[in-house]
Structures are given as C-alpha cells and as structure tokens.
Structure 1
Amino acid sequence: MTYASLDPRLFEPARLGPLHLPNRLAMAPLTRTRAAADGVPGPLMATYYAQRATAGLIIAEATTPNAVGQTYPHVPALHRPEHVRGWRRVTEAVRAAGGRMFVQLQHGGRVGHPETSGLTPLAPSPVPLPETVHTPSGRRPAVVPRAMTVEDIRSTVADFASAARNALAAGFEGVEVHAANGHLLHQFLAGNTNLRTDAYGGPPSRRVRFVVEVVRAVAEAIGPERVGLRVSPANTVNGVDEGGDTALLYPALVEALAGLRLAYLHVEFADPADPLFHRLRQAWPGTLMANPALGWDGPLPADGGGAAGGRLLAAGADLIALGRAFLANPDLVRRLRVGAPLNPLRDALMMYAGGEAGYTDYPALGDVPQPGRAPAAGAGAA
C-alpha cells in the first residue's frame, strides 16, 4: 500500500505560537474515559499519550474545568490539585517521548447527570437533552438543567480561566476551548438550547457572547498564544440546532476573537467545498486547524484521512487534526509517511470501556512480526 497522493506538506514542520511542530498532523481530542472516578489521570493515560508523541501536536481529551461541568464517568478534570498532579505525569511522559500537548477544556452543560457529578447540570436555558445520558449505573433519562444566572456565567468563565492556569501548571503547552459538539458553549450558540432574552441570548450577535467571554478570560490567564478554540458549525450532535443561523454565528464569533491573536481556530468536520469554511479562513488571521469531515463512525479511509487532510491544506488550512486514525495507530505519522497499512479500528465500545484493550494495545510498526521473522522479545502490546 502506498499513499503517493498525500500532500507532502502534511509532514513539513510548522510553527504554532511559541511551539515548533515537527509536522502538520495534530491528534484531535478523543474522549476515552480512562481517568479515575474523581477525574485524576492515571499511568495508563500517560502510556497512551506517550505512544502517540510523534504527532505534531497532541490535543488531550475533553477535560472538565469544574465539578458541575462533568459529562460522563471517568472523564478527566483540571480543577483540583490532584488533577494537576495526575496530568503532570502524562505531560512529562509525552515530553520525554519528544511530544507537545494542549488539553481541551470542556463543560458539558446539559450533557451531564446528578448521578455522575452529584450536581444538577447547568445550561443556557432549562431545555433537557433529548436523549439518555451515560452515568455510573448505566444510561439514564436526561434531567432538566438549571438555567444559568449571570452570576453562574461569571463563575463559569472564571473556572475556565482557572483550569487554563492549572493546565500550564500540569505541563501543557496550552489549552483548546471546546465550543463544539453540543456541549455548554455550543448550547449558548444554538437557538434551540439558548432561549434567553438577556445579553446572552436572542440574535447571533448576542449568542456568541458567552464563548467570547470564556476565550478572552482564558487568553488573559495564560496568554493568547497558548489558546485554541474548537467549533463545529451546523453540527447537531447532542441535540443542538443552530436554527439556520450558522452562516451568521461563526463569522460573528471569528470577528469578535480575531484581534486576540490566539494560537489557532480548530474547525471540526471541515469540508473544503463548504463556502463557510472559506469565509472563516479568510476572516481568521492566524493558524487554522481543520478536522476532515469523516463522520463519527463507520470505516476509516485506508489512509486514515490523510488525503482529505491534504485537500484541506490546499483550501487554506495550516494544520490537520485526525482522531480515530491516531486512536488505532500510535505511530500514524510514520505509517502515512512510509505508506504502511493502518491498524483497523476495533469495536467502538473499546473507545470507552476502560483498561488497556483498544487503548494502549494497538501495535506500532516495530511491534508487528514480519513474514519469516520471529518477533523480538517483548514485542506485542505496547
């Protein structure tokens, strides 16, 4: 198998704020639910991320900035000293392997449950998730979230800033603010989850306000060159609906943030044929990271999305974020560079099942026995 058609720029060095990246392939944030019940990352997570340290940049999985923002059991957090210590073990392992890491900060909003966090979820408006939620005792009907007061909004903005400071204390090079995939910040953007009539609701120009306040507070806390923002325009996951305002929301958001000189804007499910992608590229003055529109599930392309990434580079992206391909291939960059076959993804349940299976046991090229050659001692599961 060869990937002769892959854009060679995928493997070229790039600059991201103060960072020098060895290639343009970023590992996208992927929820894996391997943290302890209290949100502390453990040694297995350090192994997992260190295995993937050849990515130009690793963006660690969605991490909770406060207790009420927790989505599911065993997601990591960054609001207590023990969280910082746990993450520091991860970043030290990645750095020792030659890698660089940001961490994604995510507040679930209405995507949460009292069985998981011990608290009633907060959201822009009291509109429940139209589906069940995973809890420690199985899937449960979603509860009606409590509409955030202005004081709740201010304290949540402060919690994001505090978590960003904790991220640097834990050894991350920066943070990615998660405003995508139907979680709290996206809930403020979407018309069906934001029914507010105050300064945070109504027309798109007001619905972007909360996202802007969070990003500005995080940038003030740790420096804009260490802050990225992830968006997923028109994405309806977790029941959000932007109500036909997508083409107004995201240009307004970019215009409000363009002057901050953030590290990057990360556009999820990016399509080079989408006029909005080109509008955002033209309006965003800094680094644009693009995640190809490969879908949530189903088979991956044989190249893991490499060709799709090349098309996005040609359309103006600077960095390409791949998710499931990095999940199954700890040495994805090398495989794409030399044209080696990719590991197939296993049962999707293993993404979230906990333990080594489907997590740290995907083999790298050197671990795979070659025809006519006995495996080296200790080869096999990483």
Structure 2
Amino acid sequence: MDHSLDALRGRLLIQCRSTKVDSILDIADKAHAGIVLTGTSPESTVLRLRDQGFRGPILCDADRYSGKRRVTARRGTHPAWIRRQRDLGLIPLTDSGYLAPRDWPGLRTILKAAARESAPVVAVLPLATKWFSSPPVRVAITREINKYGVPVAFVFEHDKDPFGVQYLLTGFLQILATASVPVFLLRCDVSAIGALCHGAHTAAVGTNSSLRHLYPATARRSSRPPGVSAFVTRLLSYHRLETCERIFAGTPDIHHFWSCECTVCEGATPARLDAAGQPWLAASRHSLSCLLRLYAEIFRGLRTPDQLVSSWHETISHALYVHDQVAETAEHWRKPANLRAWYAITEDPLPHRGEIPRQPADHQPRVTMPRRRDARLREPGR
C-alpha cells in the first residue's frame, strides 16, 4: 500500500462522515477513489475499512473550522492529531481553525505547525473567499505557501458556491500555476474535477451539501423546505429532484440527455430517485457515480496538461449549451455561477472542436496571466 503523496496525485476523492462511509464504500472501491473522513474520531472507521480490504488513500479532516462553534486559526493545531493519523499509516492533515480575511498570523500558525512536523504533513487552509479579492494578497498567499514548503489543502468559505466568484477562481488557478508544493482541494463539488484538470494534486467531492461547501457561520437558513438534490451530468450541476422532473418533462427534444446508466438509475432519469426508499441516499450514490464517471472519461489515457484543460473547457462549454436548451422552456432558468466563472476565466489551449457550440462570454476582455504546466489561465479586465 502506497502512503506517499504520489498515491494521491490526480485522484478524485470522496469526502464523507464516518457514519456514512459504508453507503459509498463500494462506489469508491470500484472507481479506485480515495476517501476523506470528516470528524475528530476516525480511528475505528479507518481500521474497519482496512480490515474490509479497502486499499485506496484515506485522509482525515478534523473539521474544526466549520459551524457556529468553529475555532479560529490562531488557536493553533495539535501535534497529537498528527500522530494519531501517522499511527494509522495515513498522510496527516492539520486540524486547522478558520482563517478570516487577512488573518496572516493565523495562516502562518498553520503553515509553521505543519513545517515543524516530519514530512509529509498537509496544512489545511480553510479560507474566507475575500482572501482572494485582492491580486497582491493572492500573490502574498502563494509566497507564504512556498516559503514554508509544505503541501496545502484549501477549503473555501462561501454562502453559495465559491467557484462562482470569479476573483476566487482566478486566485485559486494562479496559486495552482505558481505554488511550488502540492495543492489539495477539499469539500467541493464538480469544480473538483476542473481543479484537477488545472493541476491540483488531489481534490475531494462531498457526499452532501454541507460537505461540498463551507458555509459562513452567520449564514441564514434558506426559507425553502429541505429537499433532495442530484447531480445531472449533462448540466454539470445539482438540482432538486422535483426540478429534474420538471425540466426533463419540458425538454422532449433532448430527452436522451437525461437518462443515466449509473448502478442506481439503471437507464432511468435522476427524477426517478424520488421513488427510492431513501431518496437522499440514492441521490448521493447516483451523484458520486456520475462524478467519478465524468472524471474517468476526462482523465482516460495519457493526457497532457493542455489536453486536460481543453477537455474541461469543452465539457463546460457543452453544459452551458444544454443549459441554454433548458432555458428555452424553463421560466427564469439560470446557468450555474460556477460554470459561467470557469468559462469566463479560462480558455481552451487547443484548437476548438467544431461539434460543441461555443458560448458567448459575459465578461470584459481577458488578459494573459502566468501559468504552469502549460495550463491556460486568463483574468477578466477590471
């Protein structure tokens, strides 16, 4: 079993609570995915997974940075948490606290603690989105990361989707292009695949909304009643099951887009998940299966960095085209902010393939920015 950072290179991981891992273990095993266990008591779960024969990478996220009782980064990290993970044969993640905007002492506290340990230790950086609103600050973050020389794992706070914020996406891609250490991404959704295409070392997609996002501690609860959402591959986005039923019924000309061949749907559409005994569980398994299949399709074969960036860009382009199709019949339909941001910020480095219609850009002229691994990255004009 390979416990090195190389075992994580280019991997899409599944982030879940220890109490839910059994429900997705077969999916992770079949897809050769890794697992990020979220919580402060992972030992019994890790040992049980190994006893059951799971040999994929396992990471442990202490999750001290979320919720209304979150701790701040200046509270420091615990060497004992690092030792506990090492005793399990795992690559340790720091049990970091939350990094409020411009909390430079907190950032250095986390990085110093990771640097003091014998390598490798991954410094978890749970950052407020506003850290990335200033280009000089984004450069300074990279400078600090490179100074301490430890792998880092980003978690981004936002009340909706941080990757729908153009300055956040621009800053993150700049870090991927200029950091001299491996960069992880935790607690994400489909943008995890985009991050991998642009050079992230590894990235994790959550099993539910709270593990696909880091919500602000002061976030207001939605007035909408809780519902079950499922990932729709052609749209590259999650939608409530009742929304799926409505848009599938309203788009007969592209009805073939909606059927799903995952082991949960078996050729039906995700709208049928509502009839499952446990719709939330069925939707979670369906979504993970679809994301892992999409990841496998993009990364199939030996791909150059340019080919990965190009494939992701064309995947986004096609999804935006399908959203346009849905918008013709669905009133007030809006394209997801993260897809619009990815399309606005990045460009296809390879000749455009004619079979996928290109989408009009809704941004100002773009200017070339520094890049690494030949990934093409552009920032909208200000």
Higher RCO (CA 8 Å, separation ≥ 6 residues) = 1
More helix by share: 2
Q: State whether TM-score is above 0.5.
A: no
Q: TM-score range by the shorter chain?
A: 0.3 to 0.5
When normalised by structure 1's length, the TM-score is: 0.41
